[in-house]
Amino acid sequence: MDDNLQNRINELIRNPKNLGELTDADAVGEVGNSSCGEMLRLWVKFREEQGRRVIDRASFQSFGCETAIAVASMATELIRGRTAEEALAMGTGQLTGDLGPLPPMKIHCAELVEGALRAALASGPEAPTPPPTAAPDAGDHLLGSLLGAGRAPKQVVLLSPQDSPEP
């Protein structure tokens, strides 16, 4: 990975945008990648703007590498103000934003973010209801909330290289 890309990733790790649960979200998507053990949850909140339903805010939690966190941070900023259809039309190359092209060994990080976005927006205009907030004893983090006791089981979509969307 070149130094310029690494510096941009480091900046987003030091100052991530939109990290954490969005409690009043209209939609939530969760994905995991079996080949590297990463998981990502993405929350989306909509608003009405000039007769269109657009993304007002998005946030994420990641159990993954620095690049996945950086791409999720960038993507949550880039989808703001877009309709679900416009956000779904964005590919991995667009979701990386100012990070620019990722090296081949890191493309799966952008695919993870794209997968979470697609999972959140999969139902079109009628977004799915977000899961309840995890109990404090389950941990205030993605893995703890996925493993939280006393709640309905979660469905986690595991992406394999052959199932990953085309860039």
Is 36 noted as a catalytic residue in this protein?
Answer: yes
Is 65 annotated as catalytic?
Answer: no
Catalytic residue among 1, 13, 36, 89: 36
Cβ-based neighbour number of residue 44 at 10 Å: 28
CA distances to 14, 109, 129 from 96, rounded to whole Å, are 17, 10, 27
Indicate if the alpha-carbon torsion angle 1, 93, 161, 85 is positive or negative.
positive
Nearest to 29 by CA among 120, 115, 100: 120
Calpha distance 2→15 (Å, rounded): 20
Active-site option among 109, 110, 112, 116: 109
Task: Give me the active site residues, please.
Answer: 36, 109
